[in-house]
């Protein structure tokens, strides 16, 4: 089942733009995110986010499989 993914337009203090799955409590507001399409795994969502930002990372809470330190 695919889920909608979004990337945060605002970077974290370390420069990462976090990728979130719909329903995540840490999802940025509608004015601060870019829609990445529907994906069945966070890895393809992160790849899509790299077209927008060079430094991206999966959200620790909703996309832990794609989160790196």
Residue for token pair 């795994």: 41
Report the Cα–Cα distance between both ends of the chain, in Å, rounded: 27
- Whole-number Å distance between alpha carbons of 1 and 69: 27
Q: Does 62 bind Zn ion (CB under 5 A)?
A: yes
Task: Find the shortest distance in angstroms from Cβ 51 to Zn ion.
Answer: 19
Task: Find the shortest distance in angstroms from Cβ 60 to Zn ion.
Answer: 8
Locate 22 and state its tokens. 């719909």
Q: Does 17 bind Zn ion (CB under 5 A)?
A: no
Q: Restricting to residues 27-56, name those near Zn ion by CB under 5 A.
A: none
Contact positions vs Zn ion (CB under 5 A): 20, 24, 26, 59, 61-62
């Amino acid at each position: 089942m695919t889920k909608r993914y979004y990337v945060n337009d605002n970077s974290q203090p370390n420069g990462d733009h976090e990728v979130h799955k719909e329903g995540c409590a840490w999802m940025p507001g509608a004015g601060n995110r870019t829609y990445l399409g529907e994906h069945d795994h966070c890895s393809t969502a992160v790849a899509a986010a790299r077209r927008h930002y060079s430094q991206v990372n999966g959200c620790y809470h909703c996309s832990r499989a794609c989160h790196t330190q």
